């Protein structure tokens, strides 16, 4: 990855961290889960509202943590809103492969891969992978009935 692209990705991450999308509690949530990474102190709470068709009608998050964890949560909420549960879970699987430095293949649509590529550099820092994936695992937990998630 060239330096210009790396700088652009860092700017996108910082923008999502400083100005998170879909940040705040949701009173009418149908699914809620909390996640915590005890290694670095990141915390996230995911609120989901599923529509009558089962799609993610609304998603919000609250939390505190490093720029990577907050940017990842912001990016995730931005990308899964309006998608079906199957699409959201498929997106999560692709994202997990991406940040772990694994082959993504056709797991992600090209337009989704393009948006998520900003987080690909995390794979070079194994301790930061847990920061990047916390919100995604917490969303999955919320969809599966809501529970506390501990990223270890």
- 42 pLDDT higher than 90: yes
Q: pTM for the complete prediction?
A: 0.89
The crossing angle, in degrees rounded to 10, of helices 67-80 and 126-143 is 40
Judge whether 26 lies within some domain. yes
| pLDDT tens string 4-34 | 666 767 888 888 888 999 999 999 999 999 9
Instruction: Specify the number of domains making up the chain.
Output: 1
Judge whether 150 lies within some domain. no
Three-state secondary structure readout of the chain: CCHHHHHHHHHHHHHHHHCCCCECCCCCCCEEEEEEECCCCEEEEEEEEECCCCCEEEEEEEEECCHHHHHHHHHHHHHHCCCCHHHHHHHHHHHHHHHCCCCCCCCCCHHHHHHHHHHHHHHHCHHHHHHHHHHHHHHHHHHCCCCEEECC
Judge whether 151 lies within some domain. no
| pLDDT tens string 80-103 | 999 999 999 999 999 999 999 999
What are the distances in angstroms from CA 105 to CA 10, 11, 119, 132, 133? 24, 26, 16, 20, 19
Judge whether 120 lies within some domain. yes
Judge whether 7 lies within some domain. yes
Q: Can you give the pLDDT at residue 105? A: 85
Tell me which residue range forms the domain holding 67: 3-145
Task: Please give the residue that has the higher pLDDT: either 71 or 3.
Answer: 71
- CATH of residue 107's domain is 3.90.1010.10
Judge whether 152 lies within some domain. no
- 148 pLDDT higher than 70: no
- Banded model confidence at residue 129, pLDDT cuts 50, 70, 90: very high
Judge whether 85 lies within some domain. yes
Which residue from 27, 29, 81, 74 is spatially nearest to 57, judged by alpha carbons? 81
Judge whether 31 lies within some domain. yes
Q: Can you give the pLDDT at residue 150? A: 47
- 1 pLDDT higher than 80: no
């Amino acid at each position: 990855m060239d330096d210009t692209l790396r700088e652009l990705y860092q700017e996108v991450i910082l923008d999502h961290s400083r100005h998170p999308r879909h940040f705040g509690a949701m009173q009418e949530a149908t699914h809620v889960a909390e996640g915590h990474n005890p290694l670095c102190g990141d915390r996230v709470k995911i609120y989901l509202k599923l529509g009558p068709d089962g799609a993610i009608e609304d998603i919000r998050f609250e939390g505190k943590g490093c720029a990577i964890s907050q940017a990842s949560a912001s990016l995730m909420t931005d990308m899964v809103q309006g998608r079906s549960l199957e699409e959201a879970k498929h997106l999560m699987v692709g994202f997990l492969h991406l940040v772990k430095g694994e082959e993504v293949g056709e797991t992600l649509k090209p337009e989704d891969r393009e948006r998520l590529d900003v987080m690909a550099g995390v794979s070079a820092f194994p301790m930061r992978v847990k920061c990047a994936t916390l919100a995604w695992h917490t969303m999955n937990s919320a969809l599966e009935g809501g529970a506390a998630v501990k990223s270890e």
